[in-house]
Structure 1
Amino acid sequence: MLTYFKAFRRTLAVAAVALAAFSLQPGSAQAQSDPTAEPSPGVVGGTRATQGEFPWMVRLSMGCGGALYTQQIVLTAAHCVDGSGPNTSITATAGVVDLQSSQAVKVKSTQVVQAPGYDGSGKDWALIKLAKPVNLPTLKIADNTAYNNGTFTVAGWGAATEGGSQQRYLLKANVPYVDDATCQKAYGSALTPGDEICAGYLAQGGVDTCQGDSGGPMFRKDNAGAWIQVGIVSWGEGCARPGYPGVYSEVSTFAANIRTAAASLGG
């Protein structure tokens, strides 16, 4: 059961990564030649984000999302990276909702820290240090469970439908919290309570993150009205299926580890 469910990570398959250069076009089925065409609704069941709405959002070249933890460090999912150490192979795109915009800021990675002890079950976080700081706002992370409730926002450039292509424009959606006991009824022992938090419309489905959204943030407003990250897109059974909420790495569980790892990167 564990192996079966964990196979539905929300990153891209190798073949999909290779196709990303032309699939980041409007629409959810095939690339289109008209650069002004509207994309299909996405993240699944979402709408297009406006420029500057979530300025800390980052698209990573391996087909994942992320958020600026500092101006030089991206917080993403452990399953998006291949271990820890020097790494100059990742390109982070930031500052735009349209990945084809000439205003996009593109910066190479220099080093990666994957969650210590990550084995595919829980602990799904990683940090990517960039070659230089990006002059954009950052997204603070939750360091306790106070905000692990209510309605969350998710955003990403991933597929707008299960099995669909990646999106050119950043898409957003709202998803409600699903408690651990309810989520375990769907996923059984595949869920790692304490390491993971669930969200989605359990009865009807229809709104969810999907392949290519892995590593992106799940966030909400704190008591001061500022955005705070409570989850990292991790996995799920398909995308937006009734009875199967999205599963996210629970940021508050790992906040101290993330801070320590960021300090070690010096960013």
Structure 2
Amino acid sequence: MCLGMLWLLFLSLPCLGNTMPLTLDLGSGQGLVGIVGGCPVSASRFPWQVSLRLYDMEHSRWEHECGGSLIHPQKEVEAYGVRVQVGQLRLYENDQLMKVVKIIRHPKFSEKLSARGGADIALLKLDTRVVLSEHVYPVSLPAASLRISSKKTCWVAGWGVIENYMPLPPPYHLREVAVPIVENNDCEQKYQTNSSSDSTTRIIKDDMLCAGKEGRDSCKADSGGPLVCRWNCSWVQVGVVSWGIGCGLPDFPGVYTRVMSYVSWIKCYVPTFLEPLKGPDGIHTTEETPATHIDPFTPPSGPASLS
């Protein structure tokens, strides 16, 4: 049932921590997943990228906890113990934090199973309407019927761990990495073969999507960030960084929430956004992208060629 049009951005549920009644077992190594094998991002390349902050008493500041993506410039009033930073390449540089006033998680999300149970998606609303610019702009959402071919190269960005659980060093510059899509059955086989899970229980659910390979992955503190693919000269968000085993390991691709599975649910809360603006590549974009199929393509020589 749709409850009205309210929400601004969405992200992975476990990264909300103590702001919601959630539990997260990090002992299994399947916790919040930084960009491994990536490069610094150029200005205005991913204007929908968001940093979610929780207050750190020890350092007396709002610390980056995970990522998110802007999907509509909405606003409301009230208060919540979470802050959001939009339009920023380097963390903590000229912060202008916005309050989160509403959080809604998907009703099928299981606190017991956490991200591995699926439905790992939440919508947040801010207290102030976001001012759109070259550096701040919503990402396009896919059609629910979108199919992504295996080995299609997509992109994930974040401020998380970069390698061997090494934190992103100052100046905390946003990083990106190209990751190949891994077909769900192949991903399932990799996880079944290389983990101690019960082989009778499916690990990679239908509402999940896998991407990455050895040395190219999302990692800790990237959770909630967008996985985006190029379609018709525009960017479409197909995944939300969710969970994984390790970072950049050869047998464990990163696991993402499959956005296509939740487009109808998202649109119950988010009004259609059709205000045109030149996106990060000079392309006029809107939220409505009639993508139905994304084929593999030959990746460019590097991130700079798409900037």
TM class by shorter chain equals: 0.7 to 0.9
Q: Distance in 2 between matches of 1:6 and 1:253?
A: 27
Q: Residues 48 and 70 of structure 2 are in contact (CA less than 8 Å); yes or no, is this contact kept in structure 1?
A: yes
Return structure 1 stretches of 4+ with deviation > 3 angstroms: 3-7
The structure-2 alpha-carbon separation of the partners of 1:232 and 1:139, relative to structure 1 and needing over 3 Å to count, comes to same
Q: Which has the higher helix share?
A: 1
Alpha-carbon displacement from aligned partner over 1:125-181 (angstroms, at most 9, x marks no partner): 101100111122100211234352311100000110242224511000000010111
SS at match of 1:187: helix
Match status 1:193 vs 2:215: no
Q: Distance in 2 between matches of 1:71 and 1:233?
A: 22
Partner of 1:142: 142
Q: Distance in 2 between matches of 1:197 and 1:248?
A: 5
The structure-2 alpha-carbon separation of the partners of 1:87 and 1:181, relative to structure 1 and needing over 3 Å to count, comes to farther
Match status 1:130 vs 2:126: yes
Give the CA deviation at 1:6.
7.2
What residue identity is the alignment partner of 1:56?
Answer: W
Gaps of 5+ in 2: 1-24, 55-64, 193-200, 272-307
Match status 1:114 vs 2:122: no
Q: 1:215 aligns with which of 200, 214, 224?
A: 224
Partner of 1:46: 38
The structure-2 alpha-carbon separation of the partners of 1:138 and 1:144, relative to structure 1 and needing over 3 Å to count, comes to same
State the Cα RMSD in Å: 2.1
Q: Distance in 2 between matches of 1:114 and 1:105?
A: 25
With the length of structure 2 as denominator, give the TM-score of the two structures: 0.65
Q: Residues 166 and 212 of structure 1 are in contact (CA less than 8 Å); yes or no, is this contact kept in structure 2?
A: no
Q: Distance in 2 between matches of 1:10 and 1:256?
A: 26
SS at match of 1:61: strand
Give the CA deviation at 1:105.
3.5
Greater radius of gyration (CA) = 2
Q: Residues 226 and 239 of structure 2 are in contact (CA less than 8 Å); yes or no, is this contact kept in structure 1?
A: yes
Matched ranges for 1:221-236 at <5 A: 221-222=230-231, 224-236=232-244
Q: Residues 87 and 112 of structure 1 are in contact (CA less than 8 Å); yes or no, is this contact kept in structure 2?
A: no
What residue identity is the alignment partner of 1:152?
Answer: C
Give the CA deviation at 1:100.
2.8
Q: 1:8 aligns with which of 27, 30, 51?
A: 30
The structure-2 alpha-carbon separation of the partners of 1:105 and 1:147, relative to structure 1 and needing over 3 Å to count, comes to farther
Partner of 1:151: 153
The structure-2 alpha-carbon separation of the partners of 1:145 and 1:162, relative to structure 1 and needing over 3 Å to count, comes to farther
The structure-2 alpha-carbon separation of the partners of 1:176 and 1:186, relative to structure 1 and needing over 3 Å to count, comes to same
Gaps of 5+ in 1: 12-41, 74-85
What residue identity is the alignment partner of 1:92?
Answer: V
Q: Residues 66 and 216 of structure 1 are in contact (CA less than 8 Å); yes or no, is this contact kept in structure 2?
A: yes
Percent identity (aligned): 31
What residue identity is the alignment partner of 1:143?
Answer: A
Q: Residues 206 and 240 of structure 1 are in contact (CA less than 8 Å); yes or no, is this contact kept in structure 2?
A: yes
Q: Residues 154 and 172 of structure 1 are in contact (CA less than 8 Å); yes or no, is this contact kept in structure 2?
A: yes
Q: Distance in 1 between matches of 2:260 and 2:248?
A: 25
Q: Residues 162 and 210 of structure 1 are in contact (CA less than 8 Å); yes or no, is this contact kept in structure 2?
A: no
Q: Residues 71 and 138 of structure 2 are in contact (CA less than 8 Å); yes or no, is this contact kept in structure 1?
A: yes
Partner of 1:38: none
Q: Residues 5 and 190 of structure 1 are in contact (CA less than 8 Å); yes or no, is this contact kept in structure 2?
A: no
The structure-2 alpha-carbon separation of the partners of 1:147 and 1:48, relative to structure 1 and needing over 3 Å to count, comes to farther
Partner of 1:18: none
Alpha-carbon displacement from aligned partner over 1:222-250 (angstroms, at most 9, x marks no partner): 1x211100000001111001111000000
Partner of 2:261: 253
The structure-2 alpha-carbon separation of the partners of 1:219 and 1:6, relative to structure 1 and needing over 3 Å to count, comes to farther
Partner of 2:175: 171
What residue identity is the alignment partner of 2:189?
Answer: K
